[in-house]
Structure 1
Amino acid sequence: MGNLGKEKEEVNHGQQDGDAPPPYQEPTHDAPPDFEESIAAARASYKRDPITVKFPARFTCFYHWNSFTFHLGTSKKDLLFAVSPARLWGQKETLLRAGPEKSDPPLATAGTLKGSKQTSSLIKVHPHSGGDHKEILEVAMTGDYESTHRFSVPVGEKKQLEFFEWRNSRGAEVREVAEKKTTGYKLVRLSDSDVERGGSRQEREAGFTSDGRRVVAVAFHTANWMAGPQFAFLSDTLGETFEIVAVMSFLRIYELASQQAATAGAVAAA
């Protein structure tokens, strides 16, 4: 209040002396960090090659014009896993195989969770050579057709059960992978929370959400559904089971999103 009164006195004194008021100047404020700067910060903070167990740190879904089966791989010459979408040959679940061939054993499946009060998905991790489980591990994921999708999975050497959540995102984490403006998804580790690292987009540390939780993976797809989505882990592995469920859960979300897009297109054309 003291400074404000002093300023008023100086203005009145100048007017009493007959001096013209000083020319108007636009107030200056420090501009918030440009969004491109937050992308650059994200690139600097993420490991370009995080340590993973089962999948590459970053891969793409590759479609083939003469086949309903698509592949996950780092390039068209390096196809690592075959994926058969649901409703193919009467198939009710999306099937991820342990290798690139149709003859390779199943690694995981994803479909609708029957009997759930809300629309949810069921991911099944199949036992395989050198795997963490000798029996099928079932993981429920909530939030079909919603903006968030939550699941729990055992992680680390102690196989401690932790919760994760896919969230729709247009943030720096997705932009870092996509290298352009696009909408995608970020996988958040809910048990890893640090409020001090949260905040607004301009304030928070790269790789963390507004509520201070760590982003462990991202994925995105373009408006061209045949271009194939991309996936990237952003931190060192939390175990093979986590990787399988993370990838399979995104494939399920992508399947649901593509179904919605197809339905919307059919309604618009009607």
Structure 2
Amino acid sequence: MGAAPDLTDLPSSISNTHPLNVLPPPYTEHDPQTAAQAPQHDIPSYNESRSTSATTKFPPAMNGYFQWKLTTTFHLGPTAEEKLYAVSTPATVFNNKPTVVLHDGPTNKHPVMATAQSDKWGRTRPIAITLPPRPGAQRADAIVAQFVPGGSLKHISPSYAFEIAVGAKGTTPERFEWRKSHGNEIKELAGHSYGWKLVRLTGPVNSVGGSRKERDRGYTSDGLEIVALIAHNASWSMTKGFRFAFMGGGLTGAMGEDWEIVVVTSALQVWFMDVQGTAATAAAASAATS
């Protein structure tokens, strides 16, 4: 496979209103953390520890790290000193480039691990998440998962569903859904923040659902398991944009490497759409007052 395109520098056609330059504001105005401090909860208390997790491709928890300079590339890693993967966001409203490009290494010169392809109607049209064949991978063909807005239609809040074959050999199709959340799992991951939780739709339904105060940690109100989270950073750090974590069955490695890649890429996509929404709102407010 050829080398990934160099997407480090922001193209001249993109202005300072590129969504990565308008990060969401902190969720609370009285957060005691500083930019140099680590989050209060490095790993949610209800998750297994790093030493017992068995994720296949990624660490059980990662942050999104950004640079001050004008760039469309940021990094994923468990700490600022251990940035493992590069993520490029070359898309603008008026082109058809992928929205998110996840690289299999810490620079955008490393092979592409996955892309998310959407357009300016991405909130209402399916988004294609593509995993191209990679050197050393067991499969010779690309995997394309359709990331469909609306999900199960059981919830009024925004949701996106996808189906992918899980397991070590990738032979068992299952459905998953990202749901927007302000729940306890998000708060334990990143403080008083907001984000998305990934629900396993085809897993067993448990009798642990109910209201937020009554249900067990790691389960939804309808008794479904939460297997991943992504939360906007609640601290004042301007270089750490979000916190991602696998949880529950997502920590066991049983879902397989391709599942983990699709989960991380789709998490980046929903986070990026939130950032795009923030940028659009800021631009509209600026235009209204100018």
Moved over 4 A (4+): 113-118, 223-226
Q: SS at 2:180's partner residue? A: strand
Closer, same or farther: CA 114–269 of 1 in aligned 2, 3 Å = closer
* Structure 2 match to 1:46: 47
Instruction: Give the Å deviation of 1:95.
Output: 1.0
Asked whether the equivalents of residues 72 and 90 of structure 2 are also in contact (C-alpha less than 8 Å), the reply is no
Q: SS at 1:217's partner residue? A: strand
Asked whether the equivalents of residues 131 and 240 of structure 1 are also in contact (C-alpha less than 8 Å), the reply is no
CA distance in 1, matches of 2:217, 2:269: 27
TM-score by length of 2: 0.71
User: Residue 176 of structure 1 aligns to which amino acid in structure 2?
Assistant: E
Aligned residues: 227
Q: SS at 2:57's partner residue? A: coil
User: Residue 136 of structure 1 aligns to which amino acid in structure 2?
Assistant: A
CA distance in 2, matches of 1:95, 1:214: 28
* Structure 2 match to 1:169: 181
Closer, same or farther: CA 128–187 of 1 in aligned 2, 3 Å = same
Q: Which moved further from structure 2: 76-85 or 193-202?
A: 193-202
* Gap regions ≥5 residues in structure 1: 1-39
User: Residue 255 of structure 1 aligns to which amino acid in structure 2?
Assistant: F
Tell me whether 1:230 sits opposite 2:246 in the alignment.
Answer: no
1:86 to 82, 86, 90: 90
Greater percentage in strand: 1
CA distance in 2, matches of 1:117, 1:266: 19
| Residues 131-163 of structure 1: CA deviation (Å, up to 9, x unaligned) | 24211111110118x710100111113521100
Closer, same or farther: CA 186–158 of 1 in aligned 2, 3 Å = same
Instruction: Give the Å deviation of 1:195.
Output: 3.8
Tell me whether 1:261 sits opposite 2:278 in the alignment.
Answer: yes
CA distance in 2, matches of 1:218, 1:240: 17
Asked whether the equivalents of residues 193 and 211 of structure 1 are also in contact (C-alpha less than 8 Å), the reply is no
Closer, same or farther: CA 219–253 of 1 in aligned 2, 3 Å = same
Instruction: Give the Å deviation of 1:260.
Output: 1.0
Rg larger for: 1
Measured on the aligned residues, the alpha-carbon RMSD in Å equals 2.6
Instruction: Give the Å deviation of 1:269.
Output: 1.1
User: Residue 175 of structure 1 aligns to which amino acid in structure 2?
Assistant: K
* Structure 2 match to 1:59: 62
| Residues 146-202 of structure 1: CA deviation (Å, up to 9, x unaligned) | 710100111113521100000111111111211x21111111111113241211222
* Structure 2 match to 1:181: 192
1:138 to 141, 144, 160: 144
CA distance in 2, matches of 1:72, 1:91: 24
Instruction: Give the Å deviation of 1:222.
Output: 3.4
CA distance in 2, matches of 1:57, 1:117: 28
* Structure 2 match to 1:77: 81
* Structure 1 match to 2:265: 248
Asked whether the equivalents of residues 65 and 241 of structure 2 are also in contact (C-alpha less than 8 Å), the reply is yes
Closer, same or farther: CA 115–132 of 1 in aligned 2, 3 Å = farther
Tell me whether 1:105 sits opposite 2:106 in the alignment.
Answer: no
Asked whether the equivalents of residues 84 and 96 of structure 1 are also in contact (C-alpha less than 8 Å), the reply is yes
Task: Tell me which of the two structures has the higher relative contact order, counting C-alpha pairs closer than 8 angstroms and 6 or more residues apart.
Answer: 2
Q: SS at 2:215's partner residue? A: coil
Instruction: Give the Å deviation of 1:266.
Output: 0.7
Asked whether the equivalents of residues 113 and 120 of structure 1 are also in contact (C-alpha less than 8 Å), the reply is no
Instruction: Give the Å deviation of 1:83.
Output: 0.9
Greater percentage in helix: 1
Asked whether the equivalents of residues 233 and 243 of structure 2 are also in contact (C-alpha less than 8 Å), the reply is no
Asked whether the equivalents of residues 111 and 252 of structure 1 are also in contact (C-alpha less than 8 Å), the reply is no
Instruction: Give the Å deviation of 1:116.
Output: 9.7
TM-score by length of 1: 0.76
Q: SS at 1:166's partner residue? A: strand
User: Residue 161 of structure 1 aligns to which amino acid in structure 2?
Assistant: P
CA distance in 2, matches of 1:104, 1:95: 11
